[in-house]
Amino acid sequence: MARIGLFYGTTTGKTEMVAESIQQEFGGESMVALHEIGGAEASEFDDYDCIIVGCPTWDVGELQSDWQGFYEEELSRVNFGGKKVAYFGTGDQIGYPDNFQDAMGILEEKIAGLGGKTVGYWGVDSYDFNESRAVKRASLWV
């Protein structure tokens, strides 16, 4: 059993490519198991203490469609208590500067409320956008 479960959604394939890169960087399938969220069930999260969530933002500040379905139907059934959860997304800071990577923030808000401990905050210095629900602390807002 891999030590980390990476749950991702993708519509045009970019987030899947990033998910595969993360898997390779961490050492391959023995370390990170990939789960496409469209075919996932809440119970699959039980297998891991460490989780990575990957979601692109679509439709101006919304979750990717498979994540949207999981959010509505399944997510509240996942027991995130005691689990570490890191997040990544893909998005477009030029085309959608007022909603850049909002999906990452939407999922973090929900999952943190279900007991998941957010890890892996990353600075925003190298990005250029106006607003994002993914920005969680003023000190990161440079």
Ligand X SMILES: Cc1cc2nc3c(=O)[nH]c(=O)nc-3n(C[C@H](O)[C@H](O)[C@H](O)COP(=O)(O)O)c2cc1C
- Nearest C-alpha neighbor of 54 from the set 95, 31, 23, 30: 23
Q: Which residues bind ligand X (CB under 6 A)?
A: 10-15, 56-61, 64, 90-92, 96, 99-102
Residue number of the CB closest to ligand X reads: 91
Smallest separation (angstroms) from ligand X to the CB of 16: 6
Q: How far is the CB of 115 from ligand X (least distance, A)?
A: 27
**How many CB atoms are located within 10 Å of the residue 6 CB?**
25
Whole-number minimum distance, CB 70 to ligand X, in Å? Answer: 15
Residue 84: CB minimum distance to ligand X, A: 23
Nearer to ligand X, 23 or 64 (CB): 64
Return d(Cα 70, Cα 11) in angstroms, integer.
14
**Neighbouring C-alpha atoms within 13 Å toward the C-beta of 55:** 30
Residue number, 13 or 120, with CB nearest to ligand X: 13
Q: Are 77 and 37 in contact (CB under 8 A)?
A: no
Dihedral of CA atoms 11, 14, 20, 25 in degrees, nearest 10, equals: -150
* Residue with smaller CB distance to ligand X, 117 or 141: 141
What is the identity of the amino acid at 52?
Answer: I
Query: Closer to ligand X at the Cβ: 71 or 96?
Result: 96
